[in-house]
């Protein structure tokens, strides 16, 4: 499908139609010129459909969140905030922007600790995912092609089963009379008393690593699979040991995969809601839980919006890096 | 090389065990007679009584029905929009706003769900206000709002799948068809769609699964009375383990495993057939 080249290609550097085209459109065979015009409008229509959808349902909502984050909270109102923009009777537009919600976010100790805790949990979960996922991806990439597809299928399969239920499965394993404690305490007597693992940070780490591991493995695998084996052989011929050739050849080459996988884990982990609610501490909240509590329990929409905007600002750099890598991957696939 | 291979292989084993033990334990305990779920009642187990109870559970059944409807509608909508977006991004050359569209399609992939959920809900609330002020028309949040929100976040996945499939083909076939006088729409349906059909199918399944599974965004945009399956499950397991949920999980795991294995076999057959045909075309 190359209508773009056909229609756009006929324009000059300033976007003007070339004289030949203008002549043909005006005096050429009527059906043919009609076809060109229809083609161009049809193409615009095709571009417009997904564009409009995303503008209306993805971009505009963020602008609304941004607007409400500056609004004043009115607990009894429906909706519970004062209008930000208001037409006064004299025909003037009144704009009221309050930064109170934002100030609160960075002063209230509950919030500050939630921010740090979320970042810490996301960071270390990413690290653990990498430590477990990298060797796994490496082993899959090095296995014979017939096994490779089966192994990949095994990695992807849990991803297709319900995320919520997989997190829930850990409740049955981690709780005081759960499977792990039964094995360690009742059967083998390795520990003197059942371990308290539920509602701890440990459980959150387990839950996040468990749920996001496929997201780490898949980009790493697709990177490692493409590596040229002759490079490793060359390194070994030149006298590098297995560890050195790994550190000097494989690891640097797999850097894009590491970044893509890590971001795919880190970004959603910062805003993770389900895992800490089911497995996590009750005395230490993560940011997503605060946001939903502000919204559903306190009905403080401005403050919930401010949390969302702050979280977005925090994640905007990682998200943009991720997009850059994603585009590069697609361009590389094209070549 | 040897030790390295050994290390990574054993890590692969550990990782796979880590991925599967929780799922298998859920399946195992779904046959346990005891209400305490993880304490095995060896006298009366295995039993299927939780499965019987599951199929008598009105709340779960009606939630599952709503979830199926939402997921099927979502998947269809997401496939249409996502395929268009993927086509535009990989075949329409540079146009004004292309980079912006690319950004808009990949952002939902990594956006934390609470942010998407909140922003969608606030949009719907604003729309409600607008509609009541302008047309005096009130709409309730429920099936429609959930589906719109789901389409928005799942179409990104379809776009990526379609785009990467399209990137794997050059456009010479499409160009040839255009040169032979086919209209662009015809080229799309006769050449492009059959070529990317595997991507469209897997995009549909992916969108279905993501929608079927979503809790956080749904919680924001659903109205009173419209509870999807994940919402019901979440409200039950918040209070602790529930044997009925284990039974439900087992059924879902079985369906997914069956589906994935069957589709893998199907894809493999298709690929082999395609290769054979290519060979025959080359030799014959």
Supply the pLDDT for residue A38: 53
Tokens 């490793």: give the residue: A232
Output the CA–CA distances (angstroms, integers) from residue A209 to A133, A293, B17, B18, B240, in the order listed: 9, 25, 13, 10, 22
> B130 to chain A nearest CA, in Å?
13
What is the length of chain B?
284
Residue A7, pLDDT score: 46
List the single residue in B16, B88, B175 with the smallest CB-CB distance to A2: B175
Q: What is the pLDDT of residue A121?
A: 95
**pLDDT tens figures, A18-65:** 666 666 666 655 555 455 555 566 677 788 888 899 999 999 999 999
- pLDDT of B223 over the 90 cut: no
Is residue A224 within 8 A of residue A296, CB to CB? The reply is: no
Of B152, B98, B179, the residue nearest A3 (C-alpha): B179
What does the pLDDT average to over B30-37? 78
Cα–Cα distance measured from residue B69 to residue A68, given in angstroms and rounded to the nearest whole number: 33
pLDDT tens-digit readout, B257-283: 888 888 778 878 877 888 888 888 877
Mean pLDDT in residue range B116-139 = 87
**DSSP symbol at A14:** T
Taking an 8 Å cut-off on Cβ atoms, the answer to whether B118 and A175 are in contact is: no
Report the alpha-carbon angle B257-B112-A95, nearest 5: 150
A276 and A286 in contact (C-beta within 8 Å)?
Answer: yes
pLDDT attached to residue A181: 82
Question: The tokens of A286 are what?
Answer: 């993560």
Distance CA A283, CA A51 (A): 43
Optimal mutation site among B5, B6, B7, B12, interface A, most CBs of chain A within 10 A: B12
Both structure tokens of B117: 């959920």
Of B3, B25, B167, which has the smallest distance from its Cβ to A172's Cβ?
A: B25
Burial A87-115, CB ≥16 within 10 A → b, else e: eeeeeeeeeeebeebbeebeeeeebeebb
User: B237–A270: do the CB atoms touch at under 8 Å?
Assistant: no
Q: Tell me which residues of chain A have a pLDDT lower than 70.
A: 1-42, 330-335
Rg of the Cα atoms in chain A: 28
pLDDT, tens only, B94-115:
777 888 888 888 888 878 899 9
CB contact under 8 A, B112 and A42: no
Task: Give me the helices (H) in chain B, please.
Answer: 2-29, 49-54, 58-91, 98-110, 113-135, 143-168, 172-179, 184-187, 193-213, 216-221, 229-237, 243-283
User: Cβ distance B193 to B32 under 8 Å?
Assistant: no
Contact assignment for A68 to B122 by CB distance below 8 Å: yes
Residue-wise pLDDT for A137-154, tens only, equals 999 998 888 888 889 888
Of A154, A163, A311, the CB nearest to B16: A154
Query: Is A220 within 8 Å of A262 (Cβ atoms)?
Result: no
User: What's the predicted TM-score (pTM) here?
Assistant: 0.84
Size of interface A-B (CB pairs under 8 A): 286
Q: How confident is the model over B132-142, as pLDDT tens digits?
A: 888 877 777 88
Q: Which residue has the tokens 């290769």?
A: B275
What local confidence, expressed as pLDDT, does residue A29 receive? 55
Q: Which range (A279-288, B5-14, B35-44, B155-164) has the least confidence?
A: B35-44
Burial per residue of A158-172, b for 16 or more beta-carbon CB atoms within 10 angstroms, e otherwise = bbbbbbbbbbbbbbb
SS3 B222: coil
DSSP state of A11: B
CA dihedral B237, B240, B241, B242 (to 10 degrees): -70
Write out pLDDT tens, residues A70-102.
988 887 777 888 877 877 777 777 777 888 888
Nearest alpha-carbon partner for A270 in A310, A320, A213, A299: A310
- What is the Cα B125 distance to its own chain's centre? 26
pLDDT of residue A1: 43
Mutate to test the interface with A, among B6, B9, B15, B129 (most CBs of A within 10 A): B15
Q: Which residue of B has its CA nearest to A289?
A: B114
Q: What pLDDT, in 10s, does the model give residues B62-104?
A: 999 999 999 999 999 999 999 999 988 888 777 778 888 888 8
Q: What is the ipTM of this complex?
A: 0.85
- Burial of residue A190 (number of CB atoms within 10 Å: 0-12, 13-18, 19+): exposed
Q: Which two tokens stand for residue A322?
A: 């991720």
pLDDT digits (tens, 9 = 90+) for B230-255: 999 999 888 777 888 989 999 998 99
The yes-or-no verdict on residue B151 having pLDDT over 90 is: yes
Contact at CB, A161 and B168, closer than 8 angstroms: no
């Amino acid at each position: 499908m190359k209508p773009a080249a056909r229609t756009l290609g006929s324009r000059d550097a300033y976007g003007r139609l070339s004289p030949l085209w203008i002549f043909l459109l005006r005096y050429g065979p009527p059906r043919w010129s009609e076809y060109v015009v229809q083609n161009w409008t049809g193409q615009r229509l095709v571009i417009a459909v997904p564009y409009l959808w995303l503008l209306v349902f993805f971009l505009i909502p963020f602008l609304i969140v941004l607007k409400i984050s500056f609004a004043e909270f009115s607990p009894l109102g429906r909706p519970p905030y004062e209008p930000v923009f208001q037409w006064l009777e004299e025909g003037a537009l009144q704009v009221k922007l309050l930064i109170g919600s934002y100030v609160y976010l960075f002063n209230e100790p509950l919030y500050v600790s939630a921010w740090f805790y979320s970042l810490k949990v996301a960071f270390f979960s990413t690290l653990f995912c990498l430590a477990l996922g990298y060797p796994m991806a490496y082993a899959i990439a090095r296995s014979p092609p017939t096994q490779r597809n089966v192994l990949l299928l095994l990695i992807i399969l849990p991803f297709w089963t319900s995320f919520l239920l997989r997190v829930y499965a850990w409740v049955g394993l981690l709780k005081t009379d759960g499977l792990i404690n039964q094995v360690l305490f009742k059967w083998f007597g390795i520990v003197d008393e059942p371990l308290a693992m539920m509602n701890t940070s440990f459980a959150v780490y387990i839950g996040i690593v468990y749920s996001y591991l496929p997201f780490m493995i898949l980009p790493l695998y697709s990177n490692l699979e493409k590596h040229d084996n002759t490079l490793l052989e060359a390194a070994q011929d030149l006298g590098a040991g297995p560890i050195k050739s790994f550190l000097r050849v494989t690891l640097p080459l797999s850097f894009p995969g590491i970044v893509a996988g890590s971001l795919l884990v880190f970004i959603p982990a910062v805003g993770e809601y389900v895992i800490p609610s089911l497995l996590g501490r009750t005395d230490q909240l993560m940011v997503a839980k605060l946001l939903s509590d502000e919204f559903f329990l306190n009905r403080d929409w401005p403050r919930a919006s401010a949390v969302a905007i702050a979280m977005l600002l925090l994640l905007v750099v990682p998200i943009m890096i991720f997009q850059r890598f994603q585009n590069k991957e697609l361009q590389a696939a094209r070549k | 090389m040897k030790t390295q291979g050994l290390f990574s292989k054993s890590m692969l084993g550990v990782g796979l065990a880590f991925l599967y033990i929780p799922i298998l334990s859920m399946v195992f305990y779904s046959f346990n007679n005891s209400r305490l779920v993880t304490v095995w009642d060896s006298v009366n187990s295995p039993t299927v009584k939780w499965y019987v109870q599951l199929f008598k559970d009105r709340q779960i059944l009606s939630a599952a029905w709503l979830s199926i409807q939402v997921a099927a509608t979502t998947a269809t909508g997401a496939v249409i929009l996502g395929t268009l977006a993927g086509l535009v991004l990989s075949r329409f050359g540079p146009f004004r706003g292309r980079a912006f569209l690319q950004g808009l399609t990949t952002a939902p992939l990594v956006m934390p769900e609470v942010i998407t959920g909140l922003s969608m809900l606030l949009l719907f609330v604003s729309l409600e206000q607008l509609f009541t002020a302008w047309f005096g028309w009130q709409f309730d949040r429920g099936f429609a709002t959930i589906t719109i929100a789901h389409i928005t976040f799942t179409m990104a996945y379809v776009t990526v799948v379609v785009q990467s499939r399209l990137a794997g083909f050059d456009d010479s076939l499409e160009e040839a068809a255009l040169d032979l006088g086919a209209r662009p729409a015809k080229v799309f349906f006769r050449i492009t769609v059959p070529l990317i059909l595997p991507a469209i199918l897997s995009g549909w399944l992916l969108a279905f699964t993501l929608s079927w599974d979503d809790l956080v965004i749904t919680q924001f945009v659903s109205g009173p009375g419209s509870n999807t399956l994940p919402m019901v499950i979440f409200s039950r397991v918040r209070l602790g383990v529930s044997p009925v949920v284990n039974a439900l999980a087992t059924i879902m795991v079985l369906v997914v495993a069956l589906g994935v294995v069957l589709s893998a076999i199907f894809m493999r057959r298709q690929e082999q057939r395609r290769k054979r045909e290519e060979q025959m075309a080359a030799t014959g």
